[in-house]
Structure 1
Amino acid sequence: MDLNGLSYDSLKTVLKHMEANRRFDMARRLPSIRVAEKAAPLHIRRLEFDTDSINVNGMIYRATLFETFPSGARREIEESIDEHGFKVDPNSVVFPGDVRMMDWNEPGAMQQRKMKDVRNLRLQLYVYNSPPWIYDVPFTTKKFEVIKRLSDMFFGNRKAEWKVTTLCPPSGIMRWPLKGMKPKVHQISIHSEFLMDALPLIVDPSSFPMNIVRFSCGALAEDLNHPTVTNAKELRFGHVISRELLLQLRHPKVSVMGEVPAADLNACVNQWMRERRSIGVHYSIRYDEEPKELLEMISSRPEVLKKSERCVELAMGSTAILKISYLEVKVHLSVWFLDMRVCRRQ
């Protein structure tokens, strides 16, 4: 695509409707459009950070370090190693703009021994595409420094609004630009231990209250009580959750993507009935098989007002009912969602 003949405003319009990775690649190859690229609104569907990679809409930019053997064979080295061959802890190095996403205690002095002969090491940036793009990087640069430079190049000095539908921060240090607008984030997806207080340092204030907070691993009690979580419009759990966690939840809207056993579901119903949860509370639980037996179990309760093949209504005092139902959703395979909802009694 020839962009050189476009006016500044026309160029920004074209870039606004271009997929993010395509924009980044064109700005890398065409210095003349870089100012317009930073000034054009940007939308990223999914942005995921790891210690040595950035994932933008499914395209992975990964810094890799290889050791080459005399036979010509090579293997990847997981550790970060400096130009002298010493191991470096990525979480011990924070650049301006970076944000620490978890509690971290300063370790003792690392053993100063050479890990590798640097003459046999090669640092490359892999861009996982079809076919993959491979860029050689000077070995004076460490893997996490490559990620920092990419983050600055992609996201730094943005002058226009940019949005991220789903942001997945790393478990350690988030390599983040020092200057430029922060993104408006629709959903935060948490994969490991995470400092909730760090979130305002990387997202635009208008992102709060967050639309969705998603936990892909077990949530801690302090996480559930953090304002970012309690004020979110919806909580999602992308795994099986324990009975203890299920009974701790006080959020009005929760989705659980892992099956809840019958005993745990019954304990949850007992708690809701006992505590008289507020009208509007709504939990949705995913099952791989039709939860018919679960509904039959609930149908045997003395509080039943009405029941049908896929729905049971329980009296919750004189003003509310607990409505439990399920439906089938067909995508590639059928899955089932069991809904628990507190409604006003008619």
Structure 2
Amino acid sequence: MENKQFFYENLETVLTYMEPSCRFNLALKIPSIRKAEKDVPLHIDRLELYDNRLVINKTEYCMRVWRKCQSNVGLYNGEVDDDLGKYGSKINVDETIEPGDIKLGDRGSVLSSRWPNYECPEQRAEWLQHDCPMYSLPCKKRYSLPCQHFIRLYVIRNIPMVRCTKSIARSTSMYQFPYASMKIYQLMKRLLTIFFGNRRGEWTVGTMSFKNNVLRWPVHTRKPIVREFDIGEYTKLKMNILNSIINLCVPLNNLQMTVPSSHDRIADHPMFLHADHVTISNQPTEDVFSDLFSFQAHTVVIANPPSTHFFDFESALFVFMEEIRPIGVRWSILTYAKKDLTILRLPDVFDVLGKSSE
């Protein structure tokens, strides 16, 4: 009994300090250590979630579909990034929603250069009518041949940052499955459940970001403690679901986002006060800039303006002096070059403000 306890404690120590991807792979191959793997603490430096990619530290899991259509209907034959129907067309994302999934947006992540202009049935009918005079039976049979699909999982290791493109990096393993038994969204759900589902031990993430349309989050799992969170483009939906994903017992060091020029206007949210810093990683327009005064936060950081030449500090002062702002919010504007504040014509600023108030 003592030997078993000693072995279990040593196993916990080894797993705690093991690189996450190696730890997950080891638990897959050795079922007897899976309970210990779920119990011991887990730390991940970087976790990025996409519709067909998953990045954990320096390991990327990339899922793609190999499409080869028997009929020449103009569809791209080769690897594509989205799930496909029987005849090679991209399927509706609403058809892929499973229990626990959270839909984050409606924007497609597919590149237009990889898809034809007739992905909808109406355009396909126009194509058939143009290429098949009178809809002859042989022609309709030729264009109704099903496509051959395979799903490919690329595991790319030991790379600091990588995009899943046609040119796969070195140190890569590729696994191929029949598409009839596994889709991209199902494989993504399975991977996230294997890695993070039913986790009982505390787990922390240094930087977490999701840039996907649907979050395939495990149904049963312990919420991670996240230090920095990048939600991508701001939407009310993304802000509302953070509470169901991360552990709010520990405040965020940084909540990063880009503010859209259209769609949802940025508004106050309790999550802003839960973060030490709220970082706007793009340059907001003047209208959106005034929206930032509507919410309570500890520190608001405006990052990555194109240059001090394009970012008009005098206009920014106008906005700060004219708009009513919450008390206690600290503002920080990051630039690529130092700005000599003595050249700002402050008397002119006050003069203009005085005239506008009259």
- Using the size of structure 1 for normalisation, the TM-score is 0.72
Deviates most, 79-88 or 173-182: 79-88
Q: How many residues align?
A: 290
2:313 is the alignment partner of 1:285? no
2:141 is the alignment partner of 1:98? no
Could you tell me which residue of structure 2 aligns to residue 229 of structure 1?
272
Q: Is the 8 A contact 2:266 2:288 kept in 1?
A: no
- Percent of pairs with identical residues: 28
Q: Is the 8 A contact 1:241 1:258 kept in 2?
A: no
2:172 aligns with one of 102, 110, 132: 132
Could you tell me which residue of structure 1 aligns to residue 50 of structure 2?
50
Secondary structure at the counterpart of residue 275 of structure 2: coil
The structure richer in helix per residue is 2
Note the residue ranges of structure 1 that are not aligned, 5 or more in a row: 105-109, 305-313, 315-346
Could you tell me which residue of structure 2 aligns to residue 238 of structure 1?
281
Distance 1:24 1:276, change over 3 A: same
Could you tell me which residue of structure 1 aligns to residue 353 of structure 2?
none
Q: 1:77 & 1:263 partners in 2: Cα distance?
A: 39
Structure 1 residue 223: Cα displacement: 3.7
Alignment of 1:148-227 (within 5 A): 148-192=189-233, 194=235, 195=237, 196-207=239-250, 209-218=251-260, 222-227=265-270
CA RMSD of aligned residues (A): 3.4
Superimposed CA distance per residue, residues 267-308 of structure 1 (whole angstroms, 9 cap, x where no aligned partner): 33234345686775432222223323xx2332x42499xxxx
The structure richer in strand per residue is 1
Q: Is the 8 A contact 1:223 1:229 kept in 2?
A: no
Distance 1:281 1:20, change over 3 A: same
Could you tell me which residue of structure 2 aligns to residue 296 of structure 1?
342
Q: Is the 8 A contact 2:278 2:300 kept in 1?
A: yes
Could you tell me which residue of structure 1 aligns to residue 314 of structure 2?
266
Q: 2:197 & 2:315 partners in 1: Cα distance?
A: 49
Q: 2:176 & 2:249 partners in 1: Cα distance?
A: 39
Distance 1:182 1:19, change over 3 A: same
Note the residue ranges of structure 2 that are not aligned, 5 or more in a row: 71-75, 108-119, 125-142, 158-169, 351-358
2:49 is the alignment partner of 1:9? no
Superimposed CA distance per residue, residues 84-133 of structure 1 (whole angstroms, 9 cap, x where no aligned partner): 756422343222222222479xxxxx749889743x32211011224101
1:75 aligns with one of 73, 78, 84: 78
Structure 1 residue 252: Cα displacement: 4.2
Q: Is the 8 A contact 1:91 1:172 kept in 2?
A: no
Q: Is the 8 A contact 1:210 1:232 kept in 2?
A: yes
Counterpart residue identity of residue 65, structure 1: V
Distance 1:245 1:58, change over 3 A: farther
State the structure with bigger RCO (CA 8 A, min sep 6), 1 or 2: 2
2:124 is the alignment partner of 1:121? no
Q: Is the 8 A contact 1:168 1:189 kept in 2?
A: yes
Secondary structure at the counterpart of residue 180 of structure 1: coil
